Amino acid sequence: SAAEKGGYDSFMAKEIAEQPHAVGDTLLGRTKDDGELVLDELRISEDQLKNVNRITFVACGTAAYSSLVAKYAIEHWTRIPVDVVLAHEFRYSDPIVDERTLVVSVSQSGETMDTLMAVKHAKDLGALTLSICNTQGATIPRESDAVLYTHAGPEVAVASTKAFLAQITAAYLLGLYLAQLRGGTFADDAKAVMTELREMPEKIQEVLDRMDRVIEMANFMADTRSVLFLGRHVGFPIALEGALKLKEIAYIHAEGFAAGELKHGPIALIEPGQPVFVIVPSPDTPHELHKKVVSNIQEIRARGARTLVIAHDGDEDVEPFASEIIRVPQCSPLMAPLLTVIPLQVFALHLAMAKGLDADQPRNLAKSVTVE
């Protein structure tokens, strides 16, 4: 009903608008004074967590993309190797898992059968299992040794938005906690990262307040047949998520690529007028990644692509090669996904609306897939 949507046209619009709270509430009261993470239900001891030498995320869909974002952060902070495995592939890959492996499942609903079966298999193999979940008391958290709830509030629209941001937030908390437990050089920086994480809800709101041009672009593009998305580092999973949103609700062929892969194939797809979103890393990203992505934009622009560039405030290097620039506030590289995904969500929603589609109830999809 209209009342349930709180004055928004759709649940998806409402849930996109709720993202500052989804992140803020997931952080709220989560750390004790000494930085220790408050897990909602914990049947894993501190010693067991200290002993972890491998982390495997299992998830499907959007939750798998939040896991991919988390991989970059957790490996950087903890130096523990992190894998992300699609839950429905996990059991069949003869996974290397033992009692020192932490298997983290990520699921909004907590009921996805593929993910549940992966968790059960991990338990059979003796792994420690932790569930990042948005639904209190759901099956996956009940089956797991520990749960870290995301507090995004109920998500109704089939296409996941606020749960995605909350999942990244929760996984970052887990990474920071593990880093602290293990001591080492990063432990000192964990506090600074927490401080930045706490500033994100405000920056997310700023992005939401700037969406007018993105909505206009979506309205112009109702006839578009194909859209490509490029990103690098944490921008790569954001490219995948941007493409997924467009497929799910606007039924447009969309593909996300790692920007570095462009020359190994995707550049062949570029023809005049092809719209390409590019998620540009912040200029202070290590290893000159910013420069490399700017040169990708230049390459595809030279071949006639319509470059729809998502860049941080103050990044002037993108200006000569961008057909459109969508600005997000400055932040450190690992925080950027919480901002850069938002224009892509809003774009998909408004493109679906421009095509006269019901964004909340896309054809063929279910909010929670409880069969294998």
Strands 146-149 and 128-133: parallel
Task: Round to whole Å and give the CA distance between 318 and 335.
Answer: 20
Residue pair 370/114 in contact (Cβ under 8 Å)? The answer is no
Residue 229: CB minimum distance to ligand G6P, A: 17
- What are 310's strand-pairing partners? 279, 326
Residue 245: CB minimum distance to ligand G6P, A: 9
- What are 129's strand-pairing partners? 103
Residue 141: CB minimum distance to ligand G6P, A: 12
Chain contacts with ligand G6P (rule: CB under 6 A) = 60-63, 107-109, 112, 115, 158-160, 365, 367-369
Residue 63: CB minimum distance to ligand G6P, A: 4
Query: What H or E segment, with its residue span, contains residue 62?
Result: helix 62-78
Q: At what angle do helices 62-78 and 235-250 cross, to 10 degrees?
A: 170
User: Would you say 150 or 340 has its CB closer to ligand G6P?
Assistant: 150
Closest CB to ligand G6P: residue number: 61
User: Would you say 152 or 334 has its CB closer to ligand G6P?
Assistant: 152
User: Would you say 245 or 290 has its CB closer to ligand G6P?
Assistant: 245
User: Would you say 69 or 262 has its CB closer to ligand G6P?
Assistant: 69
User: Would you say 48 or 368 has its CB closer to ligand G6P?
Assistant: 368
E-assigned strand segments in the chain: 41-42, 54-59, 82-86, 101-107, 128-133, 146-149, 226-231, 253-258, 275-279, 306-312, 324-328
Residue 118: CB minimum distance to ligand G6P, A: 11
